Amino acid sequence: MSLQNFEILNKIGEGAYSVVHKVRRKSDGEIYALKKVKFGSLSEKEKENSVNEIRILASISHPNIIGYKEAFIDPTSNSLCLIMELAENGDLLEKINLMKKRNSIFPEPEIWDILIQTVRGLKALHDLKILHRDLKCANVYLFSNGNVKLGDMNVSKVARLGLVYTQTGTPYYASPEVWKDKPYDSKSDIWSLGCVLYEVATLNPPFQANDMKGLYRKVIAGDYPPLPSVYSEDLSRLISFLLRVEPRKRPGCDELLQMPLLSKHCNMSEPLASENSLLNTIKIPKQLGALANSLPASNYSVQKISSRFPEPFRVKQPRMLSEPYMGKRNHNHEEEKSQGPVRVLERRNPNPAYGPAIIYSSPYKHETIAQSIQSLKAQYDKLQPSIPPVRPYYNRPNIKPSWWG
């Protein structure tokens, strides 16, 4: 794969060594995000971070983590290219700035929804012993269907021994242990999550000061203003749990998901997610072209699974439902029609009086569904001779209701 397979539509963002474009894949017309990293101008550590982001994204398939599609080398620009899902609604920081301009605030149900999806994304990372290390509003991405996903993992770290010693991240979201240059673990991400939720509620970070020294004092003291009174006491309490100065007193992702506070305000039904395993470390060769052989395979074939589908569409087994169409006798139907997440596979006419029967199915696991349809056909063919035609009551001769006179 190369850049020739994509049409660049517009630039989304730009950093010191990378630029992100909105692109269209020519083979299928789908829209993606393309991140181009100027590999030649990076230090060795920065090169490792860029390749590490590809490794982590390719290792995880989860509804609340930005989806990896492909990575390749562009020899003409000496760049490392990463193709990812595109967040149509931008990031959370952009929405916060929009709220400020409108002099508005987030509805509390939306804050709880952002919370539960962000926690699930963090849990997917922490289950693989991966620390995000730069969780902030600009790295929380919003989709048009309501999904919330974590991304930008170029400084994420695999903590095989549980603790990490390298200090990194954004100062406004950094935990007290990071500020103190102490070893830290996944609870540091939990602190950053608390900062994100506080900023969503107040449109400002919890800890602000005129200089870094003043910011340091506020963070290590856990000193932040209370939430606006428009929000519930439950939300204030939860944020206070996340922003506890002592790491051991903060809840982990599993503890958060079991809290009554969350079940009270959030939809706790789990989205469909696959098992994940961390890919091997990608070694950086001296020649950039040789790196292409070590990059993960493309992943365009993975179906997009929405965590916002109703519960019946998140079960593992295919859903089969046969129901009659109670319409006109000779109603003219299309051969096949998509109805949201449900696809009409076939219509039959077992009884002319009631019109065609409709077989619905989930769009997943087509082989199993096809077998089920064949089984239904066989059962119907056996029963068909024994089903007499039924005429509507008012068309039957010599039969009148008692009130007819």
pLDDT, residue 387, reads 54
Whose tokens are 């005429």? That residue is 391
Whose tokens are 């630029």? That residue is 19
pLDDT, residue 19, reads 92
Among candidate residues 201, 208, 268, the one with its CA nearest the CA of residue 240: 201
pLDDT, residue 328, reads 42
∠ Cα 176 182 188 (to 5°): 50
Query: DSSP states of 166-227 as a string?
Result: ---S-GGG--HHHHTT--B-THHHHHHHHHHHHHHHHSS-S---SSHHHHHHHHHHT--PPP
Specify whether the CB–CB gap between 227 and 239 falls below 8 A. Answer: yes
DSSP state of 114: H
How many whole angstroms separate alpha carbon 241 and alpha carbon 246? 10
- 113, 134, 152, 185: the catalytic one is 134
CB under 8 Å to 44, separation ≥6 — which residues?
Answer: 284
Arch. (CATH architecture) of 3-270: Orthogonal Bundle (1.10)
pLDDT, residue 84, reads 96
In the chain, where the domains are located: 3-270
Query: For the segment 10-56, what is each residue's pLDDT rounded down to a tens digit?
Result: 999 887 788 999 999 999 999 999 999 988 778 888 888 889 999 99
Those residues of the chain that have pLDDT short of 70 are: 157, 159-169, 271-274, 302-374, 376-377, 379-405
Q: Is 47 annotated as a binding residue?
A: no
Task: Check if 189 is active-site.
Answer: no
Q: pTM for this structure?
A: 0.72
Among candidate residues 194, 192, 200, the one with its CA nearest the CA of residue 231: 200
pLDDT, residue 286, reads 76
